[in-house]
Structure 1
Amino acid sequence: MSDMIKIDSAGKVNFNNNVDYCVGTGRLGLALTEEYLKELKYVQDMIGFSFIRGHGLFSDDVSIYHEYEEDGETKVEYNYTYIDRIFDSYLKLGIRPYLELGFMPEQLASGIQTIFYWKGNTTPPKDYKKWTDMVIALLQHLMDRYGDEVATWPIEVWNEPNLAGFWYEADMDEYFKLFKETFYAIKKFDSRFMVGGPAICGVKDAEWIEGFLKLCKKEGIRPDRITRHHYTVDFPERIGHYDYSTLEDSEMRFDNLKSTRDIVDSFEEYRGLPIHLTEFSTSYTPKGVIHDTNINAAYLARQLSRLGDVNEAYSYWTFGDVFEEQGVPDSLFHGGFGMVAAGNIPKPTFWTFYFYKQLKLFGSDCVYRDDNSVIVKNDKGFSGILWNIDEEDIERQYSFDLDPSSEYTLIKKIVDESTCNPLKLWHDMGEPAYPMGDEIEMIKSGANPLVSSAVVAGKIGAEVSFEVKKHGVVYFTLTKRNYTPDRGYDYDKVISFH
């Protein structure tokens, strides 16, 4: 038994729940496939993100940039056939692009370095004017097609330039040139666009954030936001196709995020500048087996309770398992980044995000938050999320001040290793790499939360307890009950028949 936690109905706790702002995807070209759109529709129907961010906007599979020879002169033309199809699909599903500008079209690239199975070119442009012309031409095309709303679509210049694989030699000065030229060109075209960078991840993060801001200060540039990434595992061990990692301490990772906030605020010119985590997850590999587990869901529940403390926005990487950075997935559960597996099978992590979205819809007044729970209220009652990352099964007890003249309905939705564990079901079925339709439906049937209910008498100091099993996440609502039985219907008598 745990100590009783009293929930102060008049309490005010800072809690920025921006869970539905943005979600990540693999390269944009994957949006041309049927399975990708099925997974995205499911996620949008159930959660509903505002923006989606992915790589490869200018990569050759999307086929925007083309050079050709005419009368001895090199000329440029643009082809928007695929990007229109992709963005049309996004808007139809109620989600807008978060425009990550990259990678480099082969014909515009200064070198041959590429990354990933799909060979995204990661070298600077051979001609910066042609680069900025391409960016502005695309923005103009998008505004012609979709209207002024395009000016509200966030823009990020490149992806992880502090890693040599993503930006040739991780050259900070060359990246800043790319940022500066792109920033100036976009602002000259339409100053309403919000442009951010440097989109760094992990390696030398403090050095890059500070160096980027010093260069901006020197040039008199004010980026609209600072962007970075956030992953929370040690370097993985590769066995066969799969990566095995150890989770890092949550507090250490939160401190790392706070250090970026502190660096930004140390510059008077940039104090308070918004920070966007344009990617975050546990493992940073697309074969990180932790992604498919209940521990991932519980760990991320704590992350989501605090990511908004120093960051305006944060984007989970990714919504679905259609993803090819290290090749086509070898099996159904392969450690993919997605919160949804093929066949629209929600992983436990999906429900963590779904619960936080439900929490946001319920109410914005947070009355309690600690390392294992967050609770909000509205005029009908309370709602909350509880999680258990690494303890044995625990019981959490709360006391609520409830209207003594009312009854309350307590609904619990439970996700743990015994109630909602599609990975275990798939394993017990023999780990079919390519399950058939009936197998998919069987696995999906084990991928939903367990729902329980009870009636709670209203009183000051009403006590409610929750069992949260190891690696579990529990969502609850405690709301006024509107009891309207039909004439002659007696529930107690109904269930007493024998």
Structure 2
Amino acid sequence: MISVPADPTGRFSEAWRQCVGTGRVELALRRDYQDSLSLLQREIGFRLIRGHGLLSDGMGVYRPYEHEGAHRVHHSFTYVDQVLDAYLETGIRPFLELGFMPAALASGEQTVFWWRGNVTPPRSPREWADLVRATLIHLIDRYGLDEVRTWPVEVWNEPNLRDFWQDADETAYHRLYEITAHTVKEVDAGLQVGGPAISPGADDWLDRFAEFTERRDVPVDFVSKHAYTSGPAQHVPFGVHQALAPASDLLDQFATPRERLKSTALARLPLHITEFNSSYRPDNPIHDTAFHAAYLAPVLAHGGDLVDSFSYWTFSDMFEEAGVPTALFHGGFGLLTHRQVKKPTYHLYAFMARMGPDLLARGDDHLVTRHADGRIAVLAWAPVDPTGQTPGPGRHALRMSLPVAAREVFVRRSTVDENHGNAYTTWRHMGSPRSPRLEQLDILHEAAEPARSHRRLTVQEGRAGLDLTLARHEITLVELTPVADETPPWWDEQRLLGRSAP
């Protein structure tokens, strides 16, 4: 029996909803993307959104030309404005990642992804600084200084990897960061700039980044890195399979930067995990499963104790780094498939959005919070076996005693598991149609909704007893609302069919 205390242990951190990832920002020009983002914001409500490609050729910002025998550059913000307008209209702000390199400004031809983002240093540091300066000045002119000061500016993406930064040249990245950070601060000292946005397994970069920025007096307002738990990819056509470390490994990765930087000038800066997930691949079927939601539940429950934000990578399967997806369910990163079919992990986030601000209890399989009006929210999850050696327990039981300031409570339970709130299972039963027909999409949307049950529970001596039995890979949200009974005194269920009063 878990006896939940009546007094909060503190405020529950909302670092989990501070930021979410997206495919390249150019995709925000598309209708399906905007529809998906609108749904996400209505039901979850993230605060910031981060994606690649703000300065890549697809956005058309850097436009060199020759005039009167001189090399000149025109900066065009047509698409930037449309993307950021779409974000702000849905109630989300950008977490600006500066990259990748416009081809005409690049020093080389190395690219990454199906859409060919250039990952080489600028051939002209001066023109790169001009590009950064012009972009930020335009954003301030359009959206206002106070607004843009709330948009973090991150310099590049995973420069420790050769795929993302030519030769993974650390010295060259430090030069890029120094030029960029000083340019940002020249525009306005109140703008937030940071990095180095490294991938897992490169924490020694943090040590040298701290030493470099302190020695050279380079501005740093926040530190960023990424976290994933998957091993080497086992390739199959249009997909991969990977072993996973326990989800606790993500929390260990979250904690590492503060430990490494505690004796440096960066020790007390905000720490942002600007990408995290289980697999780092956009074609791993694990992302589509109920297992994935139960696997990540403890990370969302505990991650805010370690970092200022941790950004799920990504909110939608509209994502083309490995090419255009070949099927509705294809192992994409998204909380949503194309056409807004919700995945189990989407519901994990939607459940989190219904938790209260007061933290009452937390453990390996549960999170209990309270709202200001007395509502209690319980998120519970079944344990998983990340090794894949077993399917995980078929049943998982929890018994709780909850503090309630009412005589009765209305209990609403929302359930997601292998067979409920799980369109992936339904899609597999359909025969895995790559492009579902409209009537099949309707069925999948229906199947994607959690199972819900409702009942009334009597409170005894200020405590409500709650017994939960969770199925394999289940996440469940139980909400207990004090009942203010307004049933009229003449109401009698026994007389519904016209029987006389006894």
Distance 1:494 1:446 in 2: 34
2:379 aligns with one of 385, 389, 398: 385
Equivalent residue letter for 2:268: G
- Counterparts of 1:387-466 in structure 2, within 5 Å, are 387-390=381-384, 391-403=393-405, 406-460=407-461, 461-466=463-468
- Equivalence for 2:187: 189
Q: CA deviation at 1:270?
A: 2.2
Aligned residues: 488
Other structure's SS at 2:225 match: strand
Task: Judge conservation of contact 2:378–2:477 (CA < 8 Å) in 1.
Answer: yes
Residue 149 of structure 2: SS of its match in structure 1? Answer: helix
Cα distance in 2 for residues equivalent to 1:251 and 1:39: 30
Alpha-carbon distance change, 488 to 14 in structure 1, aligned in 2, over 3 angstroms: closer
In structure 2, the residue matched to 1:31 is: 28
Instruction: Assess if the C-alpha contact under 8 Å between 2:293 and 2:345 holds in 1.
Output: yes
Aligned partners of 1:206 and 1:236: how far apart in 2? 22
* Inter-CA distance 217–465: structure 2 relative to 1 (3 Å threshold): same
Letter in 2 for 1:448: E
Q: Residues 163-242 of structure 1: matches in 2 within 5 Å?
A: 163-203=161-201, 205-242=202-239
* Maintained 8 Å contact 1:331/1:434: yes
In structure 1, stretches of 5+ residues that fail to align are none
Q: Shift in Å at residue 382 of structure 1?
A: 1.4
Q: Whole-Å Cα distance in 2 between the matches of residues 129 and 491 of structure 1?
A: 80
Counterpart residue type for residue 139 of structure 2: L
Give distance in 1, aligned partners of 2:497 and 2:411: 20
Does residue 291 of structure 1 match 2:279?
A: no
Of the three residues 462, 474, 477, the one matched with 1:475 is 477
1:244 aligns with 2:244: no
Question: Are the structure 2 counterparts of residues 420 and 496 from structure 1 closer, same or farther at C-alpha, using a change threshold of 3 Å?
Answer: farther
Quote how far apart the aligned CAs of 1:19 are. Answer: 2.4
Match of 1:368 among 361, 373, 376: 361
**1:224–1:13: structure 2 CA closer, same or farther, 3 Å change rule?**
same
Q: 1:128 to 1:466 in 2, by over 3 A?
A: same
Deviation digits for residues 114-166 of structure 1, max 9, x if unmatched?
A: 00000000000011111111111111111111112112111100000010100
SS of the aligned residue for 1:445 comes to helix
Deviation per residue, 1:196-232 (Å, 9 max, x gap): 10000113x2211111111111112341110001112
Distance 1:312 1:296, change over 3 A: same
CA distance in 2 between counterparts of 1:306 and 1:160 reads 25
Question: Residues 429 and 489 of structure 1: is their aligned pair in 2 closer, same or farther, counting only changes over 3 Å?
Answer: farther
Of 488-497 and 212-221, more deviation after overlay is shown by 488-497
Q: Does 1:280 align with 2:273?
A: no
2:281 partner amino acid: T
- Counterpart Cα distance in 2 of 1:114 and 1:255: 32
* Residue type of the alignment partner of 1:274: P
Cα distance in 2 between the residues matched to 1:49 and 1:402: 30
Cα distance 1:495–1:253, how it changes in 2: closer, same or farther (>3 A)?
farther
Structure 1 position 13, deviation (Å) = 5.0
SS of residue matched to 2:354:
helix
TM-score (normalised: structure 1): 0.95
Runs of 4+ more than 6 Å apart? none
The letter for the 2-side match of 1:179 is Y
* Correspondence list, 1:331-370, <5 A: 331-359=327-355, 363-370=356-363
Aligned to 1:490: 492
Normalised by the length of structure 2, the TM-score is 0.94
1:122 and 1:495 map into 2 onto residues whose CA distance is 75
CA distance in 1, matches of 2:397, 2:36: 35
Following the alignment from structure 1 to structure 2, what is the Cα–Cα distance between the partners of residues 485 and 85? 52
Check 1:40–1:401 CA distance in 2 against 1; reply closer, same or farther (3 A cut). closer
Match of 1:153 among 133, 151, 154: 151
Which residue of 1 is the match for residue 126 of structure 2?
129
Counterpart check, 1:162 vs 2:156: no
Describe the shift of the 1:326–1:495 C-alpha distance in structure 2 as closer, same or farther (beyond 3 A). Answer: farther
Query: In 2, distance between residues paired with 1:254 and 1:23?
Result: 17
Distance in 1 between the 2:60 and 2:287 partners?
32
SS at match of 1:66: strand
Q: Distance in 2 between matches of 1:180 and 1:286?
A: 32
Q: Which amino acid aligns with 1:41?
A: S
Quick one: distance in 2 between partners of 1:402 and 1:348? Answer: 30
